[in-house]
Structure formats: structure tokens, C-alpha cells
Amino acid sequence: MKVATVAVVLACAGFGSAFVAPGSKMVMTAEGGVSRRQAIQTGAATVTATGLAFLTNSVPARAEDGPYVLPDLPYAYEALEPHIDAATMKFHHDKHHLAYITNANKAVAGKEAVSILDLQKGAIKAGVRNAGGGHYNHSLFWTTLAPAADSGKPSAALTMAIDASFGSFDAMKEKFGAAAAGVFGSGWAWLGVTKDGKLDITTTPNQDNPLMEGAACTAMIPILGLDVWEHAYYLKYQNRRPEYIAAFWNVVNWAKVSEYYEQYALKQEGVPVQG
């Protein structure tokens, strides 16, 4: 099995904006919409019907052959309970993330993969932007989560940077939460380091991220992101996005976020993620 470093390799190729999630008859569009909510509801029904076996005895999800593979979660599906439920983690990781990888692999078939740094220098076709961005964003997201008991605190260096940029940790959380709640439709909220070396908060639509050239956001090296697509929270929180955002802070892996800040972002290097 080949493993690509997604921060270094993304595909410079295009494909259609609509795709079918593996194992599902539901058509999903890159922009989301009704079909996405239907897929979420279908997943919820499946979880209810199959019970715990769905969460513990299923065959590991895998993408089609290609340079990109689905990274294993660094914890069990239920490890983030009660803040993020096991059913959501299973559906989010094994279906949604896998769909982005499958389509990224289709996009690069027969084509040369390019580094994300090179990819940022030119225009990115919509299909590549959604699949490549979706793969990178989720791969980073999983690593920045941890069971509440292991969440920890930001390092001394990151704490100083947070205080310098926002005034306090609580002020940073408030600004980040407001940004995440304010995303219209689907997208992400990000904490990252700008070109001047300061921490800032920004948001992106769809599966864009602050590493992409032309993204409608503040350019930065992201060290923490929050997925605010409905599929990330709808099974548990329905339309109560602010509750999901508040719960998120209980399961942030601050040791990993601090590592990304000190080892990569301060050097203006994108965080490498496996997958």
C-alpha cells in the first residue's frame, strides 16, 4: 500500500463536481445541499438498524488504488464521546473522507502528482480543489482531536502566541467559535500562522484551506481546523452548530496543535499529514 504525504502531494487534475460516496447509492455534490443531508439521514438510519456491530465489526474502509489512502484514526470511533459521537466519527471518516480520497485517486490516474506548493502557484480546478482539499483538511482534522482526558493544554510557546494575538485563550476560543458559527453553508474554521508569524483565525468555504492560492480567506499555515459541514455534527446536534463548536474544545489535542505550531507553522511550512 502506497502512502502519500498529503501536505506535499496533491493532484493537479480535474473531474466532475458530483460523486457517489462509496457503499452508498446517494449522490453527493461537491457543494453539499439536499443530497448531503439525505446522506446523513441515511447514515443515521443505517447506524440505528445495525447497532454496535456497525461501529466495531465493519471491514476497514479503503480507497481505490492510487497514491492517496485513508489514514487510520488515532483513536477508537467512540473515543471522543460524548462530545463527538461514535456514529458520526464512523460515517465521517469511513464514508465522507473516503469519498474525497477515491475521487482524488481517480483525478490523478495517468497523471503526474505535484506538490501542494506547486499546486498553489496556479489555478486549481474545482474538482481537484474539493477532493484534494477534502483529503488534506480531514487528515489534519483527525490528528488534532483526542479523548477529553488526553486533550491537555497548549504548550508554553503556543500559549504566549495566543495571548499576544488574542489577549487570552478564552478570547481566542470566542473569536474562533464566532467565526465557525458564522460560516454560511459548508466550510471550515481555522487557527493558523500568517506570513508575519502571528496567529490568526479565518474561514474557508467548501473544502478550501488557507494553503490554497486564491482561497477566500487569510493566507496562513493552518494548525487547527474545525469542520462545520453538516455531516460533521448533524447526527448528534442536528442544526445546533454552536453546541457542536462548544463541544469541540473538549477534544482538541493541544499537544499535537502545539507541535504543528512549533515545528511547521513558525517555519512557514505546511503540516505534513499521512494519507
Residue 2 forms part of a structural domain: no
Residues 134 and 18 in one domain: yes
Residue 191: phi, psi to the nearest 5? -110, 130
> For the residues 50-59, what does the mean pLDDT come to?
41
Q: Note the pLDDT of residue 26.
A: 37
pLDDT tens digits, one per residue of 147-185: 999 999 999 999 999 999 999 999 999 999 999 999 999
Q: Which of 87, 122, 147 is where one domain is finished?
A: 147
Same domain, 234 and 191: yes
Using one digit for the tens of pLDDT, what is the confidence trace for 89-108? Answer: 999 999 999 999 898 888 77
Which amino acid, 161? A
Same domain for 108 and 173, yes or no, is no
- Tell me the residue range of the domain where 192 lies: 149-267
**Residues 112, 192: one domain?**
no
Residues 184 and 232 in one domain: yes
Domain assignment present for residue 275? The answer is no
SS in 3 state form for 176-241?
HHHHHHCCCCCEEEEEEECCCCCEEEEEEECCCCCCCCCCCCCCCEEEEEEECCHHHCHHHHCCCH
CATH number at residue 241: 3.55.40.20
Fill in the DSSP letter of residue 261.
H
pLDDT of residue 76: 98
Is residue 1 domain-resident? no
Q: What angle do CA 139, 15, 107 make, to 5 degrees?
A: 55
Question: End of a domain among 122, 147, 172?
Answer: 147
Residue 243 included in any domain: yes
pLDDT at residue 140 greater than cutoff 80:
yes
Total domains in the chain come to 2
Residue 274 lies in a domain: no
| Domain contains 154 | yes
Point out the domain boundary residue: 97, 120, 147. Answer: 147
Residue 4 lies in a domain: no
Distance in angstroms (rounded) separating the CA atoms of residues 112 and 123: 16
User: Taking 70 as the threshold, does the pLDDT of residue 116 lie above it?
Assistant: no
Same domain? 33 vs 78: yes
159 and 241 co-located in one domain: yes
Asked whether the predicted pLDDT for residue 249 surpasses 90, the reply is yes
Task: Verify that 112 and 189 share a domain, yes or no.
Answer: no
How far is Cα 154 from Cα 253, in angstroms, rounded to an integer?
9
Tell me, yes or no, if the pTM score tops 0.75: yes
| Residues 33 and 143 grouped into a single domain | yes
Residue 5 domain-assigned (yes or no) = no
Smallest CA-to-CA distance from 211 within 169, 257, 272 is with: 272
Residue 229 sits in the same domain as residue 207: yes
Q: Supply the pLDDT for residue 5.
A: 43
Of 228, 167, 155, 165, the closest CA to residue 201 belongs to 165
> In terms of domains, do 73 and 188 share one?
no
Query: Are residues 24 and 108 located together in one domain of the fold?
Result: yes
pLDDT at position 260: 98
